[in-house]
Structure 1
Amino acid sequence: MSAAPTVIAEWPKNERETVRVALDEFNGHSTVNARLWFRAADGEMRPGKGLAIGIRHLPALAAALNEALAVAIERGLIQGDSAN
């Protein structure tokens, strides 16, 4: 993998923050990174709180998120076709 992260998806959380999911590398290890980014006073986007885990955990994370989506839809918390 190259040194630069590969952004998979991003969407606005609110007026100040963006959620970004990326494949990245840390200390020579491939990672999946889900993180909030914010616009700093100088106008640059900066990373904030988030989760970075080894790529080997990606299948379990994806399965857990899919299950959370199914339960949220079942409980009527979100629409089944909701993208946000």
Structure 2
Amino acid sequence: MPLLLTAITDGVATLTLNNPDERNTLTAAMVTEITAAMDALEADPAVGAIVVTGAPPAFCAGANLGNLAEADGTSLGTIYEGFLRIARS
């Protein structure tokens, strides 16, 4: 199952965080998918807006704490960068 779903309709891109069993918490793998999708969408002249949503029952519960316990500084930075990338776009 992909961790991120992307759809474009009438110039509006919708990114759906797609890990509902874990309340769509961000992981390094999900951030990798978010970064790739944002790169592609920002380069697409047909996209005028980006909406970020989450698969029910939650939008996003933040960073995956299980991953944080095992994370080093680099992987923590990667997850944090995912939050920032969404905020900047």
| TM class by smaller structure | under 0.3
Ranked by relative contact order (alpha carbons within 8 Å, sequence separation 6 or more), the top structure is 2
TM-score (norm: length of structure 1): 0.26
Higher strand share: 1
Larger relative helix fraction = 2
